[in-house]
């Protein structure tokens, strides 16, 4: 089974993904990490040196590969992966569980700015400089796209990552008739 996590920066995709993968005993894959590994540089450097379209090409190529792998895995995706229609189609046709981790702009802003690595590793996404206006603007554009691709949305505003992970594990276990330690 494949589990894909979708959502804006700061929604907890990586943290939740690691917990779910560990409980299931399957591989955890992060599309951003694979892009960086293949490019041999950070995402911020790719944006600065080659531009966002080059990053999006690398991201689409990584996504094409990871959805084709046949072993069970959990995939955390970059927040902008839904921007390309071809990526959305690939995800929708993948048969994977696709969770949209949802939160209002104010909550995402606080979480992003509580993360010390943000400034050093994450590129600016618009000329608005990463403030609340940027998040509001991009969320307005992306929310319908996340919604169109997801199989389930989880509002993560008031729920810690461990509990989000348990909700995902419970659904997956119910569907597959499996039981995971700590998963319910
Ligand atoms: C992006 C989000 C990032 C990364 C890149 C672009 C975006 O991933 O893919 O910086 O467009 O929102 P995270 O959502 O994991 O931070």
pLDDT digits (tens, 9 = 90+) for 22-60: 999 999 999 999 999 999 999 999 999 999 999 999 999
CA of 135 from ligand 1 middle (Å) equals: 12
**pLDDT digits over 78-128, tens only?**
999 999 999 999 999 999 999 999 999 999 999 998 876 666 677 878 887
* Contact by Cβ (8 Å): 99, 17: no
- Ligand 1 atom nearest to CA at 43: 10
| Residue 32 near ligand 1, beta carbon < 6 Å | yes
Three-state DSSP state, 21:
helix
Ligand 1 pocket, residue 122 CB under 6 Å: yes
CA distance 152 to 30: 20
What is residue 52's predicted lDDT score, i.e. its pLDDT? 96
Ligand 1 atom closest to Cα of residue 77: 15
The answer on pLDDT for 134 being more than 80 is yes
Q: What's the confidence (pLDDT) of residue 184?
A: 43
Sequence-distant (6+) residues with CB within 8 A of 134 are: 125, 126, 128
Mean pLDDT on 160-176 = 93
C-alpha 77 – ligand 1 centre gap (Å): 8
Q: Is the CB of 130 under 6 A from ligand 1?
A: no
Taking all residues of the chain, what is their mean pLDDT, rounded to a whole number? Answer: 92
DSSP 184: -
Q: How far apart are CA 34 and CA 13, in angstroms?
A: 15
Cα(7) to centroid(ligand 1), Å: 9
Question: Quick one: pLDDT at residue 117?
Answer: 67
> In this structure, which residue's CA is closest to atom 12 in ligand 1?
79
**CA of 32, closest atom in ligand 1:** 9
pLDDT at position 178: 67
What pLDDT is attached to residue 129?
Answer: 77
Residue that wins the pLDDT comparison between 131 and 179: 131
Pocket test residue of 8, 30, 32, 76 for ligand 1, highest count of atoms within 8 A of CB = 32
- Give the residue, 120 or 183, on which the prediction is more confident: 120
What pLDDT score was predicted for residue 123? 82
**Nearest CA, atom 5, ligand 1:** 78
Per-residue confidence band for 183, with pLDDT thresholds at 50, 70 and 90: very low
């Amino acid at each position: 089974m494949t589990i894909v996590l979708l959502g804006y920066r700061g929604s907890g995709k990586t943290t939740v993904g690691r917990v779910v993968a560990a409980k299931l005993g399957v591989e955890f894959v992060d599309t951003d990490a694979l892009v960086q590994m293949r490019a041999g540089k950070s995402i911020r450097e790719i944006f600065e040196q080659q531009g966002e379209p080059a990053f999006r090409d690398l991201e689409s190529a990584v996504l094409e590969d990871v959805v084709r792998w046949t072993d069970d895995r959990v995939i955390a995706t970059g927040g902008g992966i839904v921007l390309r229609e071809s990526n959305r189609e690939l995800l929708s046709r993948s048969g994977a569980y696709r969770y949209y981790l949802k939160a209002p702009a104010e909550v995402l802003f606080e979480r992003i700015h509580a993360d010390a690595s943000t400034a050093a590793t994450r590129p600016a996404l618009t000329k608005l400089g990463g403030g609340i206006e940027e998040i509001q603007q991009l969320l307005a554009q992306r929310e319908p796209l996340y919604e169109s691709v997801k199989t389930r949305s989880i509002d993560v505003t008031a729920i810690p990552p461990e509990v989000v992970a348990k909700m995902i594990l419970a659904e997956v276990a119910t569907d597959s008739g499996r039981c995971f330690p700590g998963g319910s």
